[in-house]
Structure 1
């Protein structure tokens, strides 16, 4: 993507949150990463998100993140739009990565600063300073799990900043979703940050979703999204219900950990997680294996759920 106009046009649909595969020595396995990117491109995903919270960016060095950005963009070659997470606890790193992501032709995804007792005015000032650094604009990530929950009223103010092209909404409170969809729809791109509960935001008028669990269940999550996109809410509901037991495990054991374990069961190389995260327990692995086998038995409606 060369500028904000192109970014706004292409920033929609279903984006795979690509896990960062770490090998046994803790290094990024770029061969595995490329394989996982090519899989979702081949299946027809609209875009990918790299190095986000479930991509484990907090445990990567600045140098690793620079390399990750460059390797991914060299792989994708503008075939699909790419979100590159440039969030950081250090605003200096966030500024550098935001500029780099835009220069590479991706849209940088930025969170509010991780500072206690920061005011709404200071958050606005932060985004006003960082948005112009990217020629493609920025995506504001409202990420309650790792920082401050941005209120709908604050998001409205952020939407007025030149260079803010979208919001990835992690606060899935129905009231917040209703406010954001009805007050900001059409003004900028709205993304639901979770595939665990994306039917509501999409029905409310959001432009797309980012999905971690599509690393393990790419066909099923894609089929669910496409059904909803085509106005077939009943099929989307039925497909979403098929992997409820999987979602229970994801909430219990952590998504990057569970996704990587489920990917391994399918022969996909998601690698391992980095400390402080740990691989799932043997008990959780047994439960996951049962759920994945059940999904394989439920393959229906021409959709390959699990091989």
Structure 2
């Protein structure tokens, strides 16, 4: 598989890590999940991110998950591997393993201790130098999770200074103005990199209109994100918004902090994409009321989609 570049676009689905009831990695569900995402039209996959329960995996398990996903993908789309770690040695070691196994690139979030612009730029300079020029990396900007706020001007400096930074995983909130600032900078001669957006797709139509290249996030119906991005890239923002609106209540419900992954896995299991909705402990469990609400939202979503198709 070729390496990740600044021209990447479309939807890179954030893949959860499937487990069985006993907490073991479910290899069979990795295979069915990958096949579903690709058949739905995903342009790439991202594994072992913050919603992949990577922090609950041992080093050997992380390698096993990467190996299984790469085998299932079989070079059909690029795979990005989340390698964020408090320790640089761990980050670099996992990155090298990922690239050796066929990853297109790695994703790195800032460590929570970073506070000043100089510290943030220094950290990513160290990361870029340690990974080397042949390992493309994604800068994950997710202040709600990391506690690190990165100003657009700092991202512009990192892009300028480090050619191996080829993509921004944009998850600031509110952050639409940041996308506009980055695109304005590239329009006047700055280096343009790919911008894929997260936050469960909550702002995807607006992000695409601001100049984002697609989405890199999870949602139990990735076909929504794929459709929205394709409509927007074709210039039909009304169709993009109509499709997005049909899914919005479930997107909103799935975006609940602390419960979102459990909800997403429940729907993925309900759809037959994975065999089991289990999270590895510790993790929340859904109450009967949660499941009833999800069922209601999916029923109403199906009706909205039918009406949209009939229009």
Same fold per superposition (TM over 0.5): yes
How far is 1:100 from its partner? Answer: 2.2
Determine whether 1:193 maps to 2:198. yes
Determine whether 1:280 maps to 2:253. no
Matches of 1:222 and 1:13 in 2, distance apart? 7
For residue 168 of structure 2, what is the aligned residue in structure 1?
A: 167
Q: Does the CA contact (< 8 Å) of 1:246 and 1:288 recur in 2? A: yes
Q: 2:209 aligns with which of 203, 209, 231?
A: 203
Secondary structure of 2:306's partner?
coil
Secondary structure of 1:168's partner?
strand
Determine whether 1:271 maps to 2:277. yes
For residue 258 of structure 1, what is the aligned residue in structure 2?
A: 263
Matches of 1:61 and 1:120 in 2, distance apart? 33
Q: Does the CA contact (< 8 Å) of 1:62 and 1:93 recur in 2? A: no
Q: Does the CA contact (< 8 Å) of 2:139 and 2:168 recur in 1? A: yes
Matches of 2:65 and 2:290 in 1, distance apart? 30
The count of aligned residue pairs is 298
Q: 2:105 aligns with which of 104, 107, 114?
A: 107
Secondary structure of 1:181's partner?
helix
Q: 1:128 aligns with which of 101, 114, 125?
A: 125
Q: Does the CA contact (< 8 Å) of 2:6 and 2:194 recur in 1? A: no
Q: Does the CA contact (< 8 Å) of 2:6 and 2:166 recur in 1? A: no
Long gaps (5+) in structure 2: none
Q: Does the CA contact (< 8 Å) of 1:265 and 1:289 recur in 2? A: no
Long gaps (5+) in structure 1: none
How far is 1:9 from its partner? Answer: 5.9
Q: Does the CA contact (< 8 Å) of 2:6 and 2:193 recur in 1? A: no
Matches of 1:68 and 1:40 in 2, distance apart? 16
Q: Does the CA contact (< 8 Å) of 2:2 and 2:78 recur in 1? A: no
Matches of 1:10 and 1:63 in 2, distance apart? 33
Determine whether 1:238 maps to 2:239. no
Over the residues paired in the alignment, what is the CA RMSD in angstroms? 2.2
Matches of 1:112 and 1:52 in 2, distance apart? 13
In the superposition, the TM-score normalised over structure 2's length comes to 0.88
